[in-house]
């Protein structure tokens, strides 16, 4: 992980950790890196989510880009995967998404995509960090006719909607579903997308006001969607996060269907249809033990990566796999997208429901979920670094692993996007993993706070 770029771009509190001045510098540094090759006047697309600070940061980044000679195309509010798709379709040299994903409105972030729609590789992120932090090569500011131009293309989003709609393999008539748009980017696309696919659709939390993004809604707060699905006797509910690159689902009984279960039911269907490349899926170290059992029972191989959809994607691209993702709901269908896409994932789940005629609860039951707990311990940035080397923390983890034996596992990791250390345990005994998890978390609090 870099000094500025985490597993999902640069992120911080808007107008504080992520200031306008810093956003200008990021724009300049990104354009300078782009112009270090054959590209002399890059064309950069910018999209944003609905949080109140996104307009401010959009203006700052655009100013930074233009000041060093890059042209800017503004597509307005859009999902992150829409920017990844459109940057390639429209022939831009790079794409920038302004979003803090599932975080609340005071946060914001910056994600950068290459011209092919994939996130920047580590080496390019490191070059941008060098320009920003080490000032190794101050960007050359342009004057006169060499200053970049800004134009808007708010209609580009319709091409993305058409693309996702094209992945529906049948009419969804007869399905009754709800969509929680998290008052985020999906608010501008979900209604236009799903109402034309034949299902009876309901839309929740689709009226963003700049401050209500992810506020008690979306993929991090499923309670409202669960109740709505049950109260209205719907077949399923789908919840996006703020920039709509992830999805969690709810079945007719209000049970949560997480990313592991989504990958399981989709990959099983893909294997049965003969379209699961190499009969292999890619997941992260956070995936439930039940997922590996599912793979073994269904003749599906799996590979694990570090946490972060970028690492899943790198493995998929390198090895030619067609599906992968994270328990948190980032699911990548590489045949259709270069990044996780919540709305695409919803369409694929509905494809499986209609083609099999089975309810979501039965489809998800192909995977037994082992009891799992996650404890987030808030620490400083220095604490995140120290966590990896602290001997007392290592000792507490080792003792827990010995007590669990082969019936469970322990994973302690630092968050790539937040000031947190995450303590995850899973195993057959729910009470045991809860006790051991609290003991490890307490040691971390004592040592790092």
Residue 143, classified by CB atoms within 10 Å of its CB into exposed (0-12), middle (13-18) or buried (19+), is: exposed
Backbone angles phi, psi at 159, to 5 degrees: -70, -35
Distance CA 177, CA 201 (A): 5
Q: Is-contact 419 379, C-beta < 8 A?
A: yes
CA dihedral defined by 219, 224, 226, 229, rounded to 10 degrees?
A: -120
Q: Which one is catalytic: 101, 185, 328, 396?
A: 101
CA dihedral defined by 227, 228, 233, 237, rounded to 10 degrees?
A: -100
Residue bearing tokens 């960090």: 129
Phi-psi region of 247 (alpha: psi -120 to 50; beta: other; left: phi over 0): beta
Phi-psi region of 388 (alpha: psi -120 to 50; beta: other; left: phi over 0): alpha
Distances (CA, A) of 221 to 194, 210, 216, 308, 399: 22, 18, 5, 21, 33
- By C-alpha distance, which of 93, 208, 71, 202 is closest to 142? 71
Active site residue 53: no
Catalytic residues: 101
């Amino acid at each position: 992980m870099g000094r500025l770029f985490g597993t999902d771009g640069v992120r911080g509190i808007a107008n504080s950790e992520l200031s306008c001045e810093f956003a200008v510098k990021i724009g300049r540094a990104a354009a300078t890196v782009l112009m270090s090759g054959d590209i002399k006047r890059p064309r950069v697309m910018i999209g944003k989510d609905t949080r109140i600070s996104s307009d401010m940061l959009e203006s700052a980044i655009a100013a930074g880009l233009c000041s060093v000679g890059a042209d800017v195309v503004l597509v307005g509010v859009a999902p992150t995967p829409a920017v990844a798709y459109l940057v390639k379709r429209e022939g831009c040299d790079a794409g920038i998404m302004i979003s803090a994903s599932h975080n609340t409105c005071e946060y914001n972030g910056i994600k950068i995509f290459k011209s092919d729609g994939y996130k920047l590789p580590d080496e390019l992120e490191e070059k941008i960090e060098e320009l920003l932090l080490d000032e190794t090569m101050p960007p050359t500011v342009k004057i006169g006719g060499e200053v970049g131009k800004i134009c808007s293309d708010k209609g580009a989003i319709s091409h993305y909607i058409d693309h996702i709609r094209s992945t529906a393999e049948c009419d969804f008539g007869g399905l009754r579903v709800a969509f929680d748009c998290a008052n985020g980017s999906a608010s501008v696309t979900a209604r236009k997308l799903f109402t034309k696919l034949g299902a009876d659709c309901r839309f929740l939390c689709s009226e963003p006001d700049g401050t209500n993004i992810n506020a008690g809604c979306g993929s991090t707060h499923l309670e409202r969607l669960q109740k709505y699905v049950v109260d209205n006797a719907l077949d399923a509910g789908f919840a996006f996060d703020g920039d709509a690159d992830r999805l969690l689902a709810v079945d007719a009984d209000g049970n949560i269907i997480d990313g592991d279960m989504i990958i399981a039911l989709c990959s099983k269907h893909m294997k049965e249809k003969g379209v699961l490349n190499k009969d292999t899926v890619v997941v992260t170290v956070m995936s439930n033990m039940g997922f590996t059992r599912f793979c073994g029972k269904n003749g599906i191989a799996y590979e694990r990566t570090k946490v972060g959809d970028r690492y899943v994607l790198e493995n998929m691209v390198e090895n030619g796999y067609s599906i992968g993702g994270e328990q948190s709901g980032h699911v990548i269908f590489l045949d259709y997208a270069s990044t996780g896409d919540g709305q695409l994932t919803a369409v694929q789940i509905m494809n499986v429901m209609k083609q099999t005629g089975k309810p979501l609860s039965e489809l998800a039951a192909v995977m037994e979920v082992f009891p799992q707990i996650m404890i987030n311990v808030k620490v400083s940035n220095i604490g995140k670094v120290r966590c990896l080397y602290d001997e007392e923390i290592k000792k507490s983890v080792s003792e827990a692993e010995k007590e669990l034996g082969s019936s469970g596992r322990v994973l302690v990791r630092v968050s790539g996007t937040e000031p947190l250390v995450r303590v995850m345990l899973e195993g057959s005994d729910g009470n045991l993993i809860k006790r051991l998890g609290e003991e490890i978390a307490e040691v971390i609090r004592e040592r790092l706070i």
